[in-house]
Chains A and B, each alone.
Chain A
């Protein structure tokens, strides 16, 4: 693209035309893909802004004739999740109360674990790392029963701290892997220099490793937040009526309506439930890419 002008010397017109054609073809193709991916969102958004009447009579892909936020209001604070009719609001807060500490703790522990495994090797550290990696591949379903038992013993069954615990434990394998892989690119000599300077384990972590960690923290936070916010299985298994996360509530709203199906409310609730993860991507997305491709740290 940059050397269109330099290529002009030979047969300028033919070249220019071909370049432009190629460019447009590419754009058209990309546009098509984008459209394909945006279609469901478009349908959700338009449906959530229509009245039930209009949904019944109109076409699925048509724009709303009359924009109304009634469905959103109902989804937020009035829709029924079983016998209770308070919308997704209380569950939304449950999810926040659950996701924020769980993301924070799993990221923090992952960082410390990764730091230890990358730079403070001890006898058996490789084995422990392998076991943690193995933990990443254990399917959710396998841990359900043992975890229920553990939560019961700890007296955390059906509570939000219990769910936090589950997510922190389950996420640790991933977060440790992320941080370990990032920290092994930090030269060992940096740690040696700091040791000679008199810094200890936590001082080195705090003063040298953490300030270097922004890209990988962003990656980990996005990953963990998405996992935890979107989780349904743990949420439905380890919560009770007052502590359910928003995903469980969404399921209940969609499944427990009697009589007419309120598609607009369902769609609005689904968008509300998805908003936080979208927000996180929008805010931190550019760091996400950067973090995934971040290489060694050059002093």
Chain B
């Protein structure tokens, strides 16, 4: 299938500081690409480069097969929704939405028809004569979406469109954006630093850090097979447990040994991951550590650990223990009887275990 967007070897500097370093990303028609990364990693900058709002220092941006070199933002066949919505404060909602068409000289009848269609789609008909200042955050958000939708672009760019909304509204709008994506079959690039948004919306996630792409993959790839320690730690909440461990190869396979202060080391057996170096960092998601008896499977092993903290989280209970000098969070069922100070059998499910090189941080298995 044809690429809608291709970013090749993109470099962007502000003065002497390299903000984006050799970025390569591409998406296919209808894909929902989410850019995630910590604050300041260059997500907005990348989006602005794609939109043509910032000049680039090297590399190429190709939208729908057309090289965008020297093409101005308005001719790139894109629409963008900003974090602050950037609604024109002195114009009514209707004029905000039709402004782009007016500038382009679209005739009035077409403008009105498109406005009506978008207003219906987003259910903002009663708001059309208001100013942005007279709208709630969620309504402004819709209007900003409306302004993007009327353009009917090849590519939508969203820069943290939900970050100014409260938690409940954010979930609602997230669902709405997902539905829009499905209905329109549009191609989208969506920036967020909320990893739940990333996981739920994306067909493809790009994790960035310090202007570099760390990993590109489907949400499940990113979640289950993080490419390095940064991605492992960044994606998922509570974060993946990352435990320094020693491997010992013996006859029957590999033994994983995790040190514990004042106690015998914890020993787990892993016959399935070959060729691990002696020192590794083992990554296990909280949901892969359960109370013994509540998890079964070929790769489940139990061990006794001391409970340090118990956190109720409604549907689950997070139980914190200590292994390899680090806090380890396990996800227990809601009715667990675990109490702080207790020693308890934990079940470790190694089906989705990750191993990382402690020096390079790269994934080993």
Contacts and interface: CB of A to CB of B under 8 A. Distances in A.
B277 interface: no
A261 B104 CA distance: 69
B48 A192 contact: yes
A198 B140 contact: no
A299 B78 contact: no
Interface string A168-198: 0000000000000000000101101111111
A297 interface: yes
Contacts of A208: 88, 90
Nearest to A211: B90
Contact of B99 (A187, A197, A211, A297): A197
B88 A194 contact: yes
Contact of B82 (A189, A203, A212): A189
A18 interface: no
Given A192-B53, A203-B103, A198 B74 contact: yes
A194 B53 CA distance: 11
A13 B133 CA distance: 46
Contacts of A56: none
Given A198-B104, A199-B103, A299-B132, A193 B80 contact: yes
Contacts of B84: 187, 189, 299
A11 interface: no
B132 A192 contact: no
A298 B78 contact: no
Nearest to B148: A196
B149 to A, nearest CB: 13
B208 to A, nearest CB: 21
Contacts of A187: 84, 86
A131 B177 CA distance: 49
Contacts, number: 69
Contact of A299 (B72, B87, B99, B104): B87
Contacts of A19: none
A207 interface: yes
A200 to B, nearest CB: 8
Contact of B103 (A190, A192, A198): A198
B164 to A, nearest CB: 11
A196 B78 contact: yes
Contacts of B73: 192, 195-196
A298 B53 CA distance: 22
Most buried by A among B48, B89, B91: B89
B51 to A, nearest CB: 6
Most buried by A among B53, B78, B87, B88: B88
A196 B79 contact: yes
A5 B72 CA distance: 64
B24 interface: no
A192 B80 CA distance: 9
Interface string B81-100: 01111111111000000011
B82 A193 contact: yes
B88 A192 contact: no
Contacts of B53: 192, 195-196
Contacts of B140: 299
Contacts of B99: 194, 197, 199, 207
Contacts of B91: 207, 211
A299 B90 contact: no
A184 to B, nearest CB: 15
Contacts of A203: 103
B88 A198 contact: no
A192 B85 CA distance: 11
A199 B104 CA distance: 8
A297 B100 CA distance: 21
A212 B74 contact: no
B36 to A, nearest CB: 20
Contacts of A198: 74, 100, 103-104
Nearest to A209: B90
A203 B85 CA distance: 20
A190 B48 CA distance: 13
A197 B86 contact: no
A198 B85 CA distance: 17
B86 A189 contact: yes
Contacts of A299: 84-89, 132-133, 140
The 7 closest A-B pairs by CB, nearest first: A197-B100, A198-B74, A211-B90, A189-B86, A193-B86, A198-B103, A189-B82
19 contacts: A187-B86, A189-B86, A190-B89, A193-B86, A194-B88, A196-B79, A196-B80, A197-B99, A197-B103, A198-B100, A198-B103, A198-B104, A199-B99, A207-B99, A208-B90, A211-B90, A299-B85, A299-B86, A299-B88
Interface of A: 187, 189-190, 192-199, 203, 207-208, 211-212, 297-299
